[in-house]
């Protein structure tokens, strides 16, 4: 019989708050975290807004040596992991007798882009001999997990999943499998990203994927399911969860915040950047995740949608939800929280899983802000602009990524 898997700790760093309490207060208030980009001069790019982490002082959590050797995406992951670890009441001494029983499975989409930018400039301007010594460790996508293992003393599996915007959700799903099948008692999981860089913004602008029509009103730029949406807004941060076998959690009297009940991932096999117009891959992923959770569609009350605010994603995701849930799609509540956080790429699934857990815990449906004029093709209850209270028995979090990745987790309220 497979182990049941529960959430015993959470940590977040994002554009609307550093730390779980500040972050969740921002979600409940519908706080927009999108503002003018400050990390670089935006004169050469048409998108000039992003969801940057504000008032960021890593020395509050990390020592000088760790900061110097790590890129922002790894720093974000470590800070969120420290909070989640403390929230769960864990210590490395708990695993001294069996170090393999605690693992890390983390999602990341892009890696240390700011370190890559810096190295490229030095290469062009001064030659290869002037590339900074720590460039390679900073840019490699697995270094967030590696840094967490050293920070927390975790000696079990350290694994990184890179599936673009589905990375964080895929990581949580694989952490679920790892515990269910008895390979570990505890897994630190979720996602991290720091892609508010000239390189990334320029690259996504070249794809015409980013919003450019709200540079003067940045707080209105990310508007999932709204008729006037014109692209996604880059966000950054990390969302980390501690997953634990129910047996292990109960043995140590840990606080339990939700159960991770099911996961599925599929591929569209359609296009590198565009979703399948019929939403068939996403539909299939939702159905498979519900089947794995042993649940009927009618048992789900809330969906945290991928909801990127792009012209193509939002109606196709809506179609997938309707195909998977049938008539029940019009009875449940759906929201995209990216209007507040921006689209955090590899961190999105981790951050949105934290939101879904908190939503069930407190009985609160997060709002979809900036939904002023609904797109006729997006005709579900998206909790427009103001959150609502209500009992949430189960939640689904959806992440869809470039390359045709579809990833879905199903969570149950813990009672």
The percent of residues in the chain predicted with pLDDT above 90, rounded, is: 97
Q: For residue 272, what pLDDT is reported? A: 87
Judgement on whether residues 380 and 289 belong to the same structural domain of the protein: yes
Instruction: For strands 258-267 and 5-14, give the pairing.
Output: antiparallel
Judgement on whether residues 245 and 157 belong to the same structural domain of the protein: yes
Q: Show which of 210, 225, 251 is a domain's final residue.
A: 251
336 in a domain, yes or no? yes
Tens digits of per-residue pLDDT, 110-144?
A: 999 999 989 999 999 999 999 999 999 999 999 99
At 380 the three-state DSSP class reads coil
Tens digits of per-residue pLDDT, 72-89?
A: 999 999 999 999 999 999
At 286 the three-state DSSP class reads helix
297 in a domain, yes or no? yes
Q: Quote the number of domains for the chain.
A: 2
**87, 248, 343, 405: the active-site residue:** 343
Q: CB count, 10 Å around CB of 277?
A: 13
Contacts of 203 (CB under 8 A, 6+ apart): none
Structure tokens given for 384: 């427009």
**47, 165, 344, 378: the active-site residue:** 165
Judgement on whether residues 20 and 115 belong to the same structural domain of the protein: yes
Residue 274: pLDDT over 90: no
Q: Is 165 a catalytic residue?
A: yes
256 in a domain, yes or no? no
Judgement on whether residues 16 and 82 belong to the same structural domain of the protein: yes
Average pLDDT over residues 315-336: 98
Judgement on whether residues 214 and 349 belong to the same structural domain of the protein: no
**Structural domain containing residue 390:** 261-413
Is 164 in contact with 109 (CB distance < 8 Å)?
Answer: yes
**87, 248, 284, 306: the active-site residue:** 306
Main-chain dihedrals φ then ψ at residue 364, nearest 5 degrees: -140, 125
Q: Show which of 199, 232, 251 is a domain's final residue.
A: 251
Residue 150 sits in a domain of what CATH number? 3.40.47.10
Residue tagged 């012209």 (tokens): 311
Average pLDDT over residues 263-267: 98
Judgement on whether residues 221 and 292 belong to the same structural domain of the protein: no
Judgement on whether residues 188 and 276 belong to the same structural domain of the protein: no
Tens digits of per-residue pLDDT, 51-65?
A: 999 999 999 999 999
What are the C-alpha distances in Å from 34 to residues 68, 168, 199, 235, 362? 27, 21, 19, 8, 25
Residue 395: pLDDT over 90: yes
369 in a domain, yes or no? yes
Structure tokens given for 252: 């140590």
Is 118 in contact with 180 (CB distance < 8 Å)?
Answer: no
Residue 273: pLDDT over 90: no
Q: What is the four-CA torsion angle of 286, 287, 289, 292, rounded to 10 degrees?
A: 170
Judgement on whether residues 37 and 181 belong to the same structural domain of the protein: yes
Q: What is the four-CA torsion angle of 319, 323, 325, 330, rounded to 10 degrees?
A: 50
Tens digits of per-residue pLDDT, 209-232?
A: 999 999 999 999 999 999 999 999
Tens digits of per-residue pLDDT, 91-115?
A: 999 999 999 999 999 999 999 999 9
Judgement on whether residues 293 and 183 belong to the same structural domain of the protein: no
Q: Is 306 a catalytic residue?
A: yes
Q: Show which of 213, 232, 251 is a domain's final residue.
A: 251
Structure tokens given for 118: 């810096």
Is 37 in contact with 201 (CB distance < 8 Å)?
Answer: yes
Judgement on whether residues 247 and 265 belong to the same structural domain of the protein: no
Residue 243: pLDDT over 90: yes
Judgement on whether residues 166 and 294 belong to the same structural domain of the protein: no
């Amino acid at each position: 019989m497979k182990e049941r898997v529960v959430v015993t700790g959470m940590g977040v760093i994002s554009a609307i708050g550093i730390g779980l309490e500040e972050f969740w207060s921002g979600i409940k208030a519908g706080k927009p975290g999108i503002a003018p980009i400050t990390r670089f001069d935006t004169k050469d790019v048409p998108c000039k807004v992003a969801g940057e982490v504000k008032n960021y002082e890593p020395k509050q959590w990390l020592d000088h040596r760790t900061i110097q050797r790590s890129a922002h995406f790894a720093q974000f992951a470590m800070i969120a992991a420290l909070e989640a670890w403390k929230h769960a009441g864990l210590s490395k001494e708990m695993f001294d007798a069996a170090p393999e029983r605690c693992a890390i499975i983390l999602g990341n989409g892009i890696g240390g882009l700011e370190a890559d930018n810096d190295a490229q400039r030095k290469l062009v301007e001064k030659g290869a001999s002037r590339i900074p010594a720590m460039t390679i460790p900073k840019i490699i996508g697995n270094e967030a997990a590696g840094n967490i293992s050293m920070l927390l003393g975790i000696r079990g599996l350290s694994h990184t999943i890179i599936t673009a915007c589905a990375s964080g959700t895929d990581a949580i799903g694989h952490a679920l499998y790892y515990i269910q099948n008895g390979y570990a008692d505890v897994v630190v999981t979720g996602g991290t990203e720091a892609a508010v860089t000239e390189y990334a913004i320029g690259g996504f602008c070249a794809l015409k994927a980013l919003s450019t029509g709200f540079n003067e009103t940045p707080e209105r730029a990310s508007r999932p399911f709204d008729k006037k949406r014109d692209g996604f807004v880059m966000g950054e941060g990390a969302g980390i969860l501690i997953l634990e076998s129910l047996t292990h959690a109960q043995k140590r009297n840990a606080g339990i915040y939700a159960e991770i009940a099911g996961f599925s991932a599929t591929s569209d096999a359609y296009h590198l950047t565009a979703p399948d117009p019929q939403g068939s891959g996403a539909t299939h992923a939702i159905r498979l995740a519900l089947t794995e959770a042993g649940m009927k569609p009618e048992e789900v009350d809330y969906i945290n949608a991928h909801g990127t605010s792009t012209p193509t994603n939002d109606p196709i995701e809506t179609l997938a939800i309707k195909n998977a849930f049938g008539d029940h799609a019009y009875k449940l509540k759906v929201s995209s929280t990216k209007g507040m956080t921006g689209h955090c790429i590899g961190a999105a699934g981790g951050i949105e899983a934290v939101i879904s857990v908190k939503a069930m815990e407190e009985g609160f449906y997060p709002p979809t802000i900036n939904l002023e004029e609904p797109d006729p093709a997006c005709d579900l209850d998206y909790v427009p602009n103001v959150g609502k209270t209500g009992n949430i028995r189960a939640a689904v979090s959806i992440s869809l990524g470039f390359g045709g990745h579809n990833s879905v987790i199903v969570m149950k309220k813990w009672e």
